[in-house]
Amino acid sequence: MAVQSVAQLVTLLIPSRLSEVAKPVGLNLVSALPFSRGFTVLAIERIFDAVFLAGLAFAAVAILTGQQRETVQSSGLVLAGIAVTGLLVIGVVLARPAILERLSDRMPAEWLRVQLEHVAGAVSRLASLRTTSVAIGLSAISWLAAYLIFVVFFFVLGTGGLTLGQVLVVFVASTLGLIISVAPGGLGTFEGAIALSLAAFGLPMATAIAMALLLRLCLVIPVIAIASWFLISGDLSLSRILARLRDWRGRNDRGE
């Protein structure tokens, strides 16, 4: 939880997808997980995310009409393509582990060979049906929880009697707004996607913008609070991070 919370905070501060490195770095600091394995875990997580988001996008398409329908449908197709490609790569690596072994043998440096071994080790864990089921289940729970936050938010505010399907459209649109953004935390595109979706369902634009900004605050404040707690006193405290950075620097100076 500490790694996830701090990674979400970093997402709010660093532009575009550069913030993705926060999770592998956090895993390394907390559990000494090698960076290559951490990035592999992150890539697998993003592939599963693409699968679920593509499914949600296609579900939202059934409710939409006009230009908004075409935009979400196109995004769903792109996500589906990414998901299928990623799953095929995972399938090939699991079916033919010798591919990575041969590639590792051809690496010119020992460091690169070690990194490939870490990648192979991370992917090989998906060969276990239990591990794969848990990973898919956790991803599904994560997406469901995120959607339910939107449902509760609009239910509490009583915003224009939005149906569950319409809330799904707003949720998918806001998520796509986060993905395409180059600003920290999807600033601007996230709020814009929500406002335009709400306006399409009949809310006045001023009200839609206010709702989008309020939802942003409701999502950001808990992230900042929880991440700050871990940065002060948790496994990812600033003192521990600085100590680890000094350790890395010392190793580099000694050539280790």
pLDDT digits (tens, 9 = 90+) for 184-239: 777 888 999 999 999 988 889 999 999 999 999 998 888 888 877 777 776 666 66
| Whether the Cβ atoms of residue 87 and residue 51 lie closer than 8 Å to each other | yes
pLDDT for residue 26 is more than 80: no
Q: pLDDT-based confidence at 41, cuts 50/70/90?
A: confident
Predicted pLDDT of residue 62? 84
- Give the residue, 86 or 225, on which the prediction is more confident: 86
How far, in Å, CA of 140 to CA of 238, rounded? Answer: 32
- Domain range annotation of the chain: 2-248
pLDDT for residue 93 is more than 60: yes
Report pLDDT digits (tens) over 94-130: 888 777 777 777 777 776 777 777 787 888 888 888 9
Q: pLDDT-based confidence at 66, cuts 50/70/90?
A: confident
Predicted pLDDT of residue 174? 92
Burial pattern 237-247, b for ≥16 Cβ within 10 A else e, equals beeebeebeee
Name the pTM for this structure: 0.82
